[in-house]
Structure 1
């Protein structure tokens, strides 16, 4: 549960943006079948930039960032 909570935090969002950008760049540079990395990186970076946690439904939490963080305060 700690990792899900971390990923929804501000620091976790920053980590997801950096990791997503890294995957995006790696996929673009490597080319060929590695373009899949670029797609995954775009999803990861885009989701964190829009403040949503795509893993939240796996633990029964809401997807939007503010509602996700508020669900842990209860």
Structure 2
């Protein structure tokens, strides 16, 4: 079993790629963006706003960057479809 298959079958992957996980990623991305905006005059505030792109895009477009980095599918739908096999 490859590394990405092992990850995609894990409980963490299943929770992150579930509808509740997508909502969590959107909420986390929004929180990073708001905190970053609050502290936009500091380097960590700017980094927080830049970092917010990842969870916001992952939640909005149903993608999983971790799976893609491990060589697996980028689409959350494909991950959910293949996790039962």
TM bracket (short chain): 0.7 to 0.9
Structure 2: which 5+ runs fail to align? 1-9
Structure 1: which 5+ runs fail to align? none
How many residues end up aligned between the 2 structures?
74
Q: Runs (4+) of structure 1 moved beyond 4 Å? A: none
| Equivalent residue for 1:52, pick from 63, 71, 74 | 63
Give the whole-Å Cα distance in 1 for the aligned partners of 2:35 and 2:50.
Answer: 11
| Equivalent residue for 2:37, pick from 14, 25, 28 | 28
TM (normalized to structure 2)? 0.77
Q: Deviations over 1:23-67 (max 9, x none)?
A: 011011111112111111122111210111111135553111110
Give the whole-Å Cα distance in 2 for the aligned partners of 1:67 and 1:2.
Answer: 16
Larger Rg, first or second structure (1 or 2): 2
Give the whole-Å Cα distance in 1 for the aligned partners of 2:11 and 2:71.
Answer: 14
TM (normalized to structure 1)? 0.87
- Greater Cα offset, 40-49 or 13-22: 40-49
Normalized per residue, which structure has more helix? 1
| Equivalent residue for 2:23, pick from 14, 20, 28 | 14
Q: What root-mean-square deviation, in Å, do the aligned CA atoms of Structure 1 and Structure 2 show?
A: 1.4
